[in-house]
Each structure stands twice: as C-alpha cells, then as structure tokens.
Structure 1
Amino acid sequence: MTEIILVRHGQANSHARDETSYDRLSELGRQQATWLGNHLRATNPNFDHVVTGTLNRQADTARAMGFDITRQDERLNELQYFSMAQALEQQHGTPYPQNVRDYVHHLPVLMDHWQRDLLDGVPERFENFAARITQLVDELCGAHGRVLLVTSGGVIGMVMRHILALDNTATSRVMLQIMNSSLHRLHYVHDQLMLGTFNATPHLDAPGRAHARTYV
C-alpha cells in the first residue's frame, strides 16, 4: 500500500500582488508549520520520502515542520494566480479582486476561463497543469511506502479533482476550502487511489489557536 500525505504550505504573504512577493511565509505561517510538525512527530513521524515543490513557501514549510527534504519537484508548484488574474482582467474585463470576498467569487471565474483555454499569454495551460500533477501522483502510486508532499492549495485541489472526478465548479469550491497547513491523506489500495482525509488541521484544535485557521 502507498500512503500519500499532502500538506498545504503555511500562510504566505497574503498582501502580495505578484508571485515573487507572495512566495514567503508569514510569521503565522511558520508557526502553523511548526505546530503541524509537532503533531506529526507525536503521532507518526516516519516518511519514506519528503517531497516539496521548488517554491520557497513550500520548502520553508517542510523545514519549519522539522523534516529533511528528500527532493524537490516542480510538478508540485502552484498555478500562477496573479499572472492569470491580470490576463483575465485585461482580456475579459473581470476586475482583479480587492479582498477575500471578491476572491471567493473571482477564483471560479478564473478557473472556468483557464480550463476553456480562454486566457492568452498565461504561464501554463490548464491541461498542462492538470497533467503534471496527475503524472506525479500516478508515479507515487506505483511505489510502496509513506510519502509527505508539501505543496499548495491549487495542486491539492487538482488532486481532489483527479480522485473524485470533480467538475470545474466543484474543483474551485474545494480549492477555496483548503486551509493553510492543512493535511490531506490518500491511500493507494486495490489498484485505486482513495481519499482518506481532507483538510484536517488537528494541530490547530488546541485552545488559543482559532486565529491560526487561515485560507489566504
């Protein structure tokens, strides 16, 4: 059996307006990762592989969790939201979101345009994004063991799409629910990839940590 534990990075720079500025953990993000690492070490700390994307916020989350990174894989890198949001505004007149409420309505529109290949000049096509993620997951299913993957919300959402055969609207809704430092557990058994846990945050259940439940 293969067990895959997906973790979304801790809170990043939520005030950023470009990819580079966003790609660093906030102090709360580091604390979220530390708490999660403590939880995993107290329950089951043993992983055959620890893999992150090449983004700073992903690798820094794994390190703050207290795990040594086995390797980094670009296929775990996040979609480039800021670039696509700018393209959506310039090409289709959809305003750039100004707050979290705007973002909740903006993401499904962006995903729909991206999936239908209606955005020109974006860094990556939707079909390529989906293919690289499912390729990596399929590779991991072929190997036995326990793997920790530290990645981003968009990647985790696409994994859920792959497992549960979600449509585009449902995928966007799933992405919007994925919390910073959340844990998602997959099992490959009987030649099938099964979802065991979605969006768990046991490390944030302790009194005084309600403020640490963040989405952006």
Structure 2
Amino acid sequence: MTEIILVRHGQANSNATDEAGYDRLSDLGHLQAGWLGEWMAATDPHFDRVVTGTLTRQRQTVSAMGYAATGEDARLNELTYFDLAHAMEAQHGIAAPDTAHDFARYLPDVIGHWAEDRLAGVPETFGSFHARIIALIDEVAAQHGRSLLVTSGGVIGMVMRHVLNLDTAAMTQMMLRTHNSSVHRLRHVHGQLVLDSFNATPHLDAADRAHARTFI
C-alpha cells in the first residue's frame, strides 16, 4: 500500500512584499502546525518518510508538527509568486492587489499568463514547475508505505491538476481554497494515483479555532 499525505505549510508572513520576507511562519502559522501535529499523533502518527521542500516556512511547519524530516527536496518548493506578480505589472500593467477579495480574482489571471508563457524573465516556466512536481510525485508513488510531504499551495494545486486532470483555471481555484496547514491524501491504486481527501483541517474544527482557518 502506498499513501501520500500532502500538508500545506502554516500561515506565513502575509504582509511581505518579496519572497524572502514571506518565507517564515507567523505566530498563528506555528500554532496551526502544532495543532496538526497533535492531531496526527493522536490518530495515525507513523510515516515511513517525512520530506519537506527547502523553504523556511516548510521546515518550520514540519518542526512545529513534532516530526523530524527524513529528507528535503527542492521540488516541493513553491512557485515564486512575487516574481510572477512583478512580471505581470511590468509586462502587462496589472498590479498586485491589496485585499484578499481582489487577490481571488488576480491569481487566476497571473497563473493563466504564466501557463501561456506570457510572462518573460521569470525564474521558472509553468512547464518546468509542472515537470518537477509530477516527477517527484511519481517517484514517491513508486515507493511502498506512507509518505508525509510538507509543501505549499501551488505545489498541491499542481498535484491536484495531475491527479484529477484539471485545466489551469480549475487548478487555480483549488489553490485559492487550500487552507494553511491543510491535509490532502493520495493513494496509489492499480497503477495510478487517486485522491482520497482534499483540504482537510480536522485540527481546526473546534469552534474556538475558527479564527485559525486561513488561506493567506
């Protein structure tokens, strides 16, 4: 049996204006990850491997969960949103928004431009982002046992695109709905990956944790 559990990192520094400034958990992000770790310890705590990307917020999440990573893989790193946003403004005159409401309209536009190769000079093409993530997921799926992968929302969105055969617009909508510290389960069954659950947050279900259900 092969099971892959994807976890999005806890809330990061949402007030940042660049990649480096964003790449650390907020106080709430540490809490979210800690609660998730407690829930996993009380339910199904064993993993055969625990892998994060190389980003600080991903490493901090797995640590706050109470797990020691058995490895790191840069293919789990997030797309570079701020680079895409800067290219979007410089090349198409569309500036990044200031509110979460406007961001929900803006992100699909940015990802659409990126997927159509209409953003020049960015660190990574959409095609290379897709290729590195799917290569990693295929490698993990070929291994037996349970794998915990601590990653980011864009990576999870791309995995959903792959497993569910989504178009770019549908993938982006799933990215927008992916909670911080959410859990996503995949199984490798009869030679293919299937989705068991998406965007679960059982550690945040209590009424006194409603404030901790964040997307950004």
Q: Is the TM value for this pair above 0.5?
A: yes
The offset of 1:101, in angstroms, is 1.2
State the match for 1:62 in structure 2. 62
| Cα distance between partner residues in 1 of 2:191 and 2:173 | 28
State the match for 2:95 in structure 1. 95
| Cα distance between partner residues in 1 of 2:78 and 2:141 | 21
The offset of 1:96, in angstroms, is 1.4
State the match for 1:212 in structure 2. 212
The offset of 1:97, in angstroms, is 1.3
| Cα distance between partner residues in 1 of 2:92 and 2:166 | 26
- 1:120-146 Cα deviation digits (max 9, x unpaired): 110100000000000000001111010
TM-score (norm 1): 0.99
1:55-204 aligned within 5 A: 55-204=55-204
What SS does the corresponding residue of 2:211 show, helix, strand or coil?
helix
The offset of 1:207, in angstroms, is 2.7
- 1:135-180 Cα deviation digits (max 9, x unpaired): 0000011110100000000000000000001001101100000000
Which residue identity is paired with 2:189? V
Which residue identity is paired with 2:197? T
| Cα distance between partner residues in 1 of 2:96 and 2:61 | 28
Note the residue ranges of structure 1 that are not aligned, 5 or more in a row.
none
State the match for 1:13 in structure 2. 13
Which residue identity is paired with 1:36? L
State the match for 1:43 in structure 2. 43
Report sequence identity in percent.
61
Which residue identity is paired with 1:84? L
- Number of matched pairs: 216
The offset of 1:189, in angstroms, is 1.0
Note the residue ranges of structure 2 that are not aligned, 5 or more in a row.
none
The alignment's C-alpha RMSD in Å is 0.5
Which residue identity is paired with 1:145? G
State the match for 2:33 in structure 1. 33
What SS does the corresponding residue of 2:31 show, helix, strand or coil?
helix
| Cα distance between partner residues in 2 of 1:191 and 1:122 | 35
What SS does the corresponding residue of 1:154 show, helix, strand or coil?
helix
Q: 4+ residue runs of structure 1 moved beyond 4 angstroms? A: none
Which residue identity is paired with 1:13? N
Which residue identity is paired with 1:157? G
Which residue identity is paired with 1:76? L
Which residue identity is paired with 2:136? L
